Amino acid sequence: MKLQKIIEVIEEQTNEKLDVQNRQRHIVSLRCIYYKIARELTKHSLQRIGSTLNKNHATVLHGLKMFDVVIKERDYQLLYEKCKRFLSELPVDDTSTITDVIDYYESIIRKLKFSHQEVKNHEKQELYETILGMDESTFKMFDETRLKPFLKMHKVA
């Protein structure tokens, strides 16, 4: 997984930039989350992880130690879990872009919509076959007890 992808996900979730030159507590906490996720999901060195944000390996090491303090705050804990879960489930490799990921999920959505429509069509077909297979007395009872009240309720009749 690319380190830049981890940064993108955290920045997208928080509307904050991680590579800004400041020491605001909130930004430092977000960087700690980035360092932790990068260590857990990649095999990159501390130096490489830090270099993506213009930080050195000692800063990353300190951030990893601070993670245990940061994660005690509920908002940061939820952010960490959400980002890590999302990144862990991504079907990507080091050459994938965010557009590739979006395309992948859009294709899944299209397949699910198609499958849903097939299920609906199958259910309708079963209903038609059931009604057509009813003998006359069963159909009259169905018509009086189910169909007419339904049509009346929906003002079709």
Q: Where are the domains of the chain?
A: 3-95, 109-153
- CATH class of the region 3-95: mainly alpha
**For residue 104, is pLDDT > 80?**
no
- The answer to whether 32 and 66 are in contact (CB under 8 A) is yes
CA-CA distance, 16 to 28, in Å (whole number)? 11
pTM of the predicted model over 0.85: no
pLDDT at position 117, please?
86
Supply 112's token pair: 């699910």
Q: Is 36 helix (H, G, I), strand (E, B) or coil?
A: helix
Which pLDDT value is given to residue 58?
Answer: 96
